[in-house]
Structure formats: C-alpha cells, structure tokens
Amino acid sequence: MLVLTGSDLLQRLRDKSVLIFALVVPMALMSVFNLVFSQADDIEIKPLTVAVSAPADDDLAAVLTDVLRSLDGADELDVTVEEVDEAAGRRQVEDGDAAVALLVPDGFGPAARAGEPVTVEAVRGDEAGLEADIVLSVVDGFLKQVAAGAVTARAGLAEGVAMTDVPALVEQATTGGPAYDLVRGEASDEQLDAGAALVAGQAGLFLLFTVGFGVTGLLVDRESGTLARLRSMPIPGWVIVASKALVSFVLGTVATAILLGLGGYLFDADFGSVPAVALLVLCATAAGTSVMFLIVRVARTSEQAGIATSIVALVLGIGGGAFFPVSATGSLSRVLDLNPVAALLRGLGTTSGGGGLGDIGVPVAIMLGFVAVMLVVSRLVPDRGALS
C-alpha cells in the first residue's frame, strides 16, 4: 500500500493539475476576494454637523439638544450642534454644511408629555453616512423614552392613580437606563473575522476538490488498464482503494495546511493554537476523503467522478459558508451544522479566539461522525464503480 501511495503521490506532483486546483486557484480566489472586500471592515466615522431648530422656551426640546451635544467625543463621534431656525436648517443640509437637520415643532414638550402625536422631522443630506445613522438612532431612542413616560402617565391616570404618584411612575418607566450607550461592536471570540473566514472557507472548499484526485486516479487507472494489472497481482482490492484514499488524505492535509498558513500570513489571519488547528485539518481531510469511498462505488468513469466530486464540493462548501455565512432556522440549521466545512470554520473560530484542544470537541465530533456515516453508506451502496 505504501508503494502504491508513494507512486501515486509522485505522479500527482508531476501532474500540474493537482498544484493548480489545490493551491494556485484557491490562492488566486483569496486574493481577488480580499481586494474586493478588504474595504468592507474599514468603517470611517466622519465628523458631522447637526442643525437643530427648536422652540426657545421648550425645556424638553432643550433636553434633546443637550443629548445631541453629549454625543461629541463619545467613542469616535465628532458631533457639532448648531441651533438655527427651520429655513436655515434645511438650507444647511441642501448646501452640505450639515449632515442632518432636526426640526422640532412648536408645542413639542407639552404634546409629548400629554401623549399626543407629535413629529420631529429629520432632514438628511445625500452624503450623510454611518455617523448620521448613529445620531438619528439616538434621537429615536430619546423620543421613545419620552413616549414611554407619556404612556405611563396616561395609563396611571386612567387607572385612578393619584396625581401625586404619577411623577414617580413616569420616572420609574423612563429611567431604567440611559437613552443610549455607544459601544464599538466586535465579533464574538468564537467567530472568524472577514479575512480569516475567507481563508478558512476557501481552504475547506478546495480541500474537497483536492481529495477527489484519489477517486479520479483510481478510475483513470481502470481506463488505462493499470487497475487490471494491479488486480492480477496478489494484492487485495481494499489495499488499492486504501492507497488512493491515503493519497487523497495526504494531498488534502498538505494543501489545506499550506493554504491556512500562507493565507493567514498574507491576509493577517491568526487561527490560534497550532496543535488544535492541526487536529481540525486532519479531521476535515478525513471527512472529505470519506466521501471518496462513496463516489468510487457509484462513478463508472473519471468524468463521472469529477462531476460528482465537484457537486459534493460545491454543495458542502457553499452550505458550510465557504463564500459567505449561511444562516438557517429549525431543522435546516441542524442539518447545516453537520456539514464538515461548517464544522471546520466553527472549530477555527474557536481556536482563533484562544481555544485549545479541549475546546474543539464538538467540531471534531461532527467531522468524525461524518466520516463514520460515509463509510457505512459506502458499504451499503451497490458497487457499480471502479472495482465492480
């Protein structure tokens, strides 16, 4: 078996298609995707000016203005608030001097306290970006807090609460916490960032293509007559298949390790503990190789094997999140969780967050379970392939 494996590995290295599919194509795709999506995570918060038109004698409108001023310096926000009249506010937005204009109507405070419908109009500039969304979300939160107080007051009065007790109820309803809390969001410690997910996804996808060379090699040997000569020798049939599986396992392991190492270096992705990552790669390669045992029993020609391998690779790769995260609910989400590519990405997310060998038990169990299922199914499927 070792002689057959060594001979096939030497032949595959001479065959440039292995190097192309296992290394060149995935690295090229990683580079292209990195160029296309590299700016997606570069979020720039620009300084913005907010023009506020509010009644001078409205204390609640003054509170809204103070809330906007308090945003200046929060995290990375640079907010300048200018108090103007309505016409000037609209003009500043049209001229590009202000990103947002807030137009507070007369009688805003009394109407809001009474729970009556009242609208604060927001005029947004064409060039306003994420920072304008943040400001508007804070304004929306403030107005919802005011509305909650008004609803509480009206409900208390309707239920017969004494007028002296209403202020306490309103304070309890509206002071459960600050109206806003600005925190820069970060991915979970067990999730890969965009660059690392791209590298891991492409490595998992092309792992499935790489292990397919063992299947096609077996069928090519049959078509060329090499398999017939091997079977005429005192070699059990399972040894021939096992040597092809070992070729697939070695090629898949080496190619995936190179892709993760080189991709991590080029795209600044850290996958964490080397022993844990090595275990994940070995289990993922075993899962991909196990599919070979099923394909080799149903594919009659190398063309059929290539098509079947491509279908399996694309279905498992895309379903596992090789190109973009896939979310589902219900029974479908549980099916997707059994995908070895998804398990590989989940395991790498754990190791990248500082996890070790003891933290990747679930992904490893999923991939080894996939191996067991494929081996059982391959024994139950009638053999119509290379050894039939």
Domain shared by 29 and 111, yes or no: no
Last residue within a domain, chosen from 174, 200, 223: 174
Say if 224 falls within a structural domain. Answer: yes
Question: Which residues on neighbouring strands pair with residue 121, listed in sequence order?
Answer: 103
**pLDDT by residue (tens digit) across 343-357?**
888 888 888 888 888
Domain shared by 53 and 32, yes or no: no
**pLDDT by residue (tens digit) across 149-196?**
666 666 665 666 665 665 565 555 544 445 455 555 544 455 677 778
Last residue within a domain, chosen from 174, 207, 227: 174
Question: Which residues on neighbouring strands pair with residue 51, listed in sequence order?
Answer: 82, 101
Q: Report DSSP letters for 130-148, one per residue.
A: HHHHHHHHHHHHHHHHHHH
**pLDDT by residue (tens digit) across 49-61?**
888 888 888 877 8
Q: Report DSSP letters for 234-247, one per residue.
A: S--HHHHHHHHHHH
Last residue within a domain, chosen from 174, 203, 223: 174
Domain shared by 218 and 329, yes or no: yes
Say if 310 falls within a structural domain. Answer: yes
pLDDT of residue 328: 58
Task: Answer yes or no: are the C-beta atoms of 385 and 298 closer than 8 Å.
Answer: yes
Q: What is the mean pLDDT of the chain?
A: 79
Total number of residues shown for the chain = 388
Domain shared by 299 and 201, yes or no: yes
pLDDT of residue 43: 58
Say if 184 falls within a structural domain. Answer: no
Say if 1 falls within a structural domain. Answer: no
Q: Is 123 helix (H, G, I), strand (E, B) or coil?
A: strand
For residue 364, give every residue at least 6 positions away whose Cβ sits within 8 Å of its Cβ, in sequence order, or none: 279, 280, 283, 343, 347
Domain shared by 90 and 212, yes or no: no
Q: CA 187: distance to chain centroid?
A: 9
Say if 238 falls within a structural domain. Answer: yes
Say if 271 falls within a structural domain. Answer: yes
Q: Report DSSP letters for 281-350, one per residue.
A: HHHHHHHHHHHHHHHHHH--SHHHHHHHHHHHHHHHHHHTTSSS-----THHHHHHHT-HHHHHHHHHHH
Domain count, the chain: 2
Domain shared by 200 and 310, yes or no: yes
Domain shared by 305 and 245, yes or no: yes
Say if 115 falls within a structural domain. Answer: yes
pLDDT of residue 36: 67
pTM above 0.75, yes or no: no
Say if 202 falls within a structural domain. Answer: yes
Domain shared by 236 and 125, yes or no: no
Domain shared by 163 and 212, yes or no: no
Domain shared by 297 and 352, yes or no: yes
Q: If pLDDT is split at 50, 70 and 90, which confidence band does 13 have?
A: confident
CATH number at residue 64: 3.40.190
Domain shared by 240 and 274, yes or no: yes
Domain range holding 85?
Answer: 48-174
Lowest mean pLDDT among 92-101, 148-157, 289-298, 368-377: 148-157
Domain shared by 70 and 135, yes or no: yes
Q: If pLDDT is split at 50, 70 and 90, which confidence band does 366 have?
A: very high
